[in-house]
Structure 1
Amino acid sequence: MEKLNYQVLEKSGYQGYIKKSAPEKVLQFGEGNFLRAFVDYFFDCANEKTDWEGKGVLVQPIPQGLTELINGQEGLYTLYLRGSEKGQKVDQKRVISFVSRCINPYKDFDAVVKAACSEELEYIVSNTTEAGIVYDPESKFEQCPPNSFPAKLTKILYERFKAGRKGVVILSCELIDNNGKELEKCVLQHIDDWKLGEDFKEWITAENIFCSTLVDRIVPGRIKDAEEVEKLEADNGYKDDLMDVGECFGVWIIEGPAELEERLPFKKAGLNVQVVPDVTPYKKRKVRILNGAHTGFVLGAYLSGQNIVRDCMHNETIKGFMNKMLYNEIIPTLPLDKEDLMDFASAVEDRFNNPFVDHELMSISLNSTSKWRARNLPSFEEYVKEKKELPVCLTMSLAAYIAFYSSDIQERTEDGLICRRPKGNTYKVQDDAWVLDFYYEHREDSAEELVHAVLTNEKMWGEDLSQIEGLEKKVTENLLNIRENGAEKAYASCL
């Protein structure tokens, strides 16, 4: 079977949208599954739905990468967006034609510089992993390329400045807080260290916009089933070594000045991309609602006999518990438009019900102590502060966390705590060593003793939770309910 390229695609009879040529307006550091299923998808849709007319040049961020595969397919690849929307199964195929080419900077850094100095360039995008945005004093200007991504960026922006070009919009997609601001800090530090001059520094701050962004789309990437890949390629009429898969839900929040929304092509295209003055509330929305829902219900759901997230959405008690926690206890504490929050929460149920992703509860359970503290405790405390009472479901969720970490403890292994769930099988709790040691040391405690020890452990929570009126008594009652009647009935008692 022939490999995907424009000629092969035409022969295959593909009827979807394709853009063969356009000016290269985007320089993107990163060529992995996520960027291709997220950023490149949005730009591709903007080409189809507006008069923006742009292509993207990808830059391979590390010495090993996809440059040869991407160029071998003339930048084309097939993207499947799969999931559930309003309870209906969604499986959309789109051939992405936004990418013009890929450059390996370790073989041809001059090509990156040339692309960066182009008059047509408008945007620089990056997703170089969380470790990518760090200041590295070992990165030098004379290196080709410099070691770190911020150093590479500083060097190519300097060349653009010297060429007399206008500034660009830099969209940072790395999964760290204030990713754009942190990237700009690193660039300014390199300018000082490399003595590149005040004029260049002024051009950086005045002419360029470093945007912090929040990205939200689950991208499994490859289809693991070889038979399914073979069938898809047979149906498509071509071989595709860059086939990519993401969930159908996707939202990109970009922090920047209001005029940026008109400058970017996404609003005109009707895409789920928002420009906001501060990305922080949206990050809080994602952590509290999406991540908070996961951590809030999965531990009890696992004890009740469930194994994957999707099946939990088909259990009316567990789904009802999650929704009551979201709509009655978490959303009222968040500082965003309530309709926006309700829409986001509504999408969560669809995302958890994705028929294409077997998301295991045990994988979500990793490090649940720090997760509950970061994702659920703030909602819990703000609810108590506002309502002057305990939130029913979040309080039960805390008891379920304790139950999961203390269910018939068998042994403490090198990397976990072996517990037994009511179904009879054992499972491994994985967390920081001191957390596992704590629960193992308290394995003989009564429910009352264990709850007291957990709530007063300030290392776990940053405070003594037993000081919250009525909490210790209620968590103890809930823990006994879970142990005696099962987690599902305990969840049902909250509804």
Structure 2
Amino acid sequence: MLLNKTTYTGYKERPEKILQFGEGNFLRAFVDWMFHELNKSGKFDGSVVAVQPIANGMANMLNDQDGLYTLYLRGLKNGKPESTHETIDVISRAINPYEDFDAYLKTAEQPEMRYIISNTTEAGIAYDDADVATATPPNSYPAKLAVWLNHRYKTFNGDASKGVHIIPCELIEKNADNLKRIVLQIADTWALGDGFVNWLNSACTFSNTLVDRIVPGYPRERIAEITEELGYEDKQVVEGEHFHLWVIEAPESLQQELPFPSIGLDVKYVTDMTPYRTRKVRILNGAHTTLVPVAYLYGLDTVRESVEHPVVGKFIKDAIFEEIIPTLDLSKEELEQFANDVIDRFRNPYIKHLLMSISLNSWSKFETRVLPSLLEYKNRHGAVPQKLSFALAATIAFYRGKRGEEAISLNDDAVLLELLKNAWSRYDGSDESLESVVVEVLGFEKNWKMDLNKVEGLTAAVTKHLQSIVNSGMEKAIETV
């Protein structure tokens, strides 16, 4: 028995107000769940039309279930493991514009359409010069959006009240600014006219966002157990963690229309999301990047066991609270609350997050996620941070490619891998040759955008840590910091 309107008695028809580009796990476990909760609260009454953004997708599977699916939220809540599930009924239908372009275009004619959501991957917000106005549909998301917006503009003769709020969720900085820039470029290339451009600028809003929730997706390994628990088949089950954060740069009008914070959801309407993006990159992503080489060389394999380890767990917590948080400008209370939430997320007993799965491209990650904290700490305190410089030394040791007798499968930029291979090939067992390895790595300006050897005290600190790691092993070396 498949989940659908027949098997789910709580279904309610609602006006279609949200056009959503993307029908995948993240949007269904994040944005759609939030609209579902807002509907339940009585502060909103609307449904989502999900648009399949690429030729191959899940529109048909969603329609087979009348847009219904089960969301499991699993993780630590108030320090204790908790797993809950709920049927989400906010999606009214899904459209595959590659099979039914007319149905897609007709949604622009619906007066109540008000919000456009998207998550088309980081590569989705890009200009494609192969797109043409007559394609049904164009290839890229911005071009599909331009066609839809232009059709709405024409349908309602430029009525300003039929403008829409456009809220992209792609994981790129200034996602809405980039999307709007490309849509305007398309409007110019296709000669859509000044009237359309003026309507777009005055009647529509584009809001930059930051989204944060870990969504493992379809729980393939335990689907038999889930089916037995639910009593019906659901091919669209999705799993996510309890933690959620949506930061939106929004006008006052959007805040009033979508009062997510008033029902307890962690949605922050701000005028500038930069501090929140910095907080996430430095604390959440930075902690991951700091942790991986240290924990893996210690002999651990997952994020959870690393954070719960008495030695490695203390190392990463100290790095966050003593060396990363002091470089950020939000309130200490807010930063520490976020950091504690991050640690709980790392300890999620329902997610097996392998360290090796997040070791990909560690050097570029270190440059964007950890190095800014390291340099800002040095700038504010006049000293090299010991934990972060130790993590840098551990990363160099990690890229030696060995954990004891076990080979490490390194995955990174080919030029970097060659540089590390050559540097380590000249290591002859002496401390002097280890210093040469450090100098060569820190001097690789292509990755660092600067020569890190010029940062006072950094070469000496990293060299000292690397000598300790190589000569004594990670278990003893970590004790020095």
Identify whether the pair has TM-score above 0.5, normalized to the shorter chain.
Answer: yes
Structure 1 position 33, deviation (Å): 0.9
Listed as ranges, the matches of 1:25-64 within 5 Å are: 25-64=17-56
CA contact (8 A) 1:125 1:173 kept: yes
C-alpha deviation, 1:150, in angstroms: 1.0
- Determine the C-alpha separation between the residues in 2 that align with 1:187 and 1:389: 47
Equivalent in the alignment of 2:70: 78
Structure 2 equivalent of residue 427 of structure 1: 408
Post-superposition offset of 1:259: 4.0
Partner of 2:14: 22
Of the three residues 130, 135, 139, the one matched with 1:138 is 130
Tell me, in whole angstroms, the C-alpha distance in 2 between the residues paired with 1:51 and 1:454: 55
> Aligned letter for 2:389?
T
Cα deviation for residue 332 of structure 1 reads: 1.4
Q: Does 1:7 align with 2:37?
A: no
Q: Does 1:461 align with 2:448?
A: yes
Per-residue deviation, 1:484? 2.8
Q: How far did residue 278 of structure 1 move?
A: 1.8
Residue in 2 aligned with 1:197?
193
Percent identity between the two aligned chains = 46
Q: Describe the superposition over 1:213-260 as per-residue Cα deviations: whole angstroms up to 9, x where unpaired.
A: 1111111111121xx211211221110011111122111111122442
Deviation at 1:493, TM superposition (A): 2.5
Unaligned residue ranges in structure 2 (runs of 5+): 428-432
Kept after mapping to 2: 8 A contact 1:396/1:475? yes
Task: After superposing the two structures, state which structure 1 stretch, 454-463 or 343-352, moved more.
Answer: 454-463
Deviation >4 Å, runs of 4+: none
Amino acid at match of 1:59: V
* Residues 73, 84 of structure 2: 8 Å contact kept: yes
| Alignment size in residue pairs | 471
Give the letter for the 2:5 counterpart. Y
Superposed displacement of residue 66, structure 1: 1.3
**Partner Cα separation in structure 2 for residue 368 and residue 195 of structure 1:** 44
Once superposed, what is the RMSD of the aligned Cα atoms? 1.5
Work out which of the residue numbers 424, 440, 443 in structure 1 matches 2:421: 440
Q: Work out whether residues 295 and 372 of structure 1, in 8 Å CA contact, stay in contact via their aligned partners in 2.
A: yes
Once the two structures are TM-superposed, the CA of residue 489 in structure 1 deviates from its matched residue by 3.0
Q: Please point out which of 232, 254, 260 is paired with 2:226.
A: 232
Amino acid of the residue matched to residue 434 of structure 1?
Answer: V
Q: Deviations over 1:126-150 (max 9, x none)?
A: 1112221112222222222222211
37-46 or 140-149: bigger deviation: 140-149
Stretch deviating more after TM superposition (137-146 or 120-129): 137-146
The answer to whether the 8 A contact 2:5-2:11 is kept is no
TM-score, normalised via structure 1 length: 0.92
Write the mapping of 1:219-368 to structure 2, written as runs, cut at 5 A.
219-225=215-221, 228-368=222-362
Equivalent residue for 2:398, pick from 392, 395, 404: 404
Identify if the C-alpha distance between structure 1 residues 51 and 462 changes in structure 2 by more than 3 Å, giving closer, same or farther: closer
1:173 aligns with 2:169: yes
The 3-state SS of whatever aligns with 2:260 is: coil
Report if the CA contact (8 A) 1:313-1:349 is conserved: yes
- SS of residue in 1 equivalent to 2:300: coil
Amino acid in structure 2 at the alignment position of 1:335: D
Whole-angstrom CA distance in 2 between matches of 1:476 and 1:426: 23
SS where residue 264 of structure 2 aligns? Answer: coil
| Aligned position for 2:430 | none
Cα offset for 1:100? 0.5
Which among 111, 115, 118 is matched to residue 103 of structure 2?
Answer: 111
TM-score where L is the length of structure 2? 0.95
Q: Distance in 1 between matches of 2:124 and 2:463?
A: 44
SS in structure 1 at match of 2:207: strand
SS in 2 for 1:268: helix
Residue 215 of structure 1: which of 211, 217, 220 is its match? 211
Quick check: 1:159 aligned with 2:151?
Answer: yes
CA distance in 1, matches of 2:479, 2:40: 48
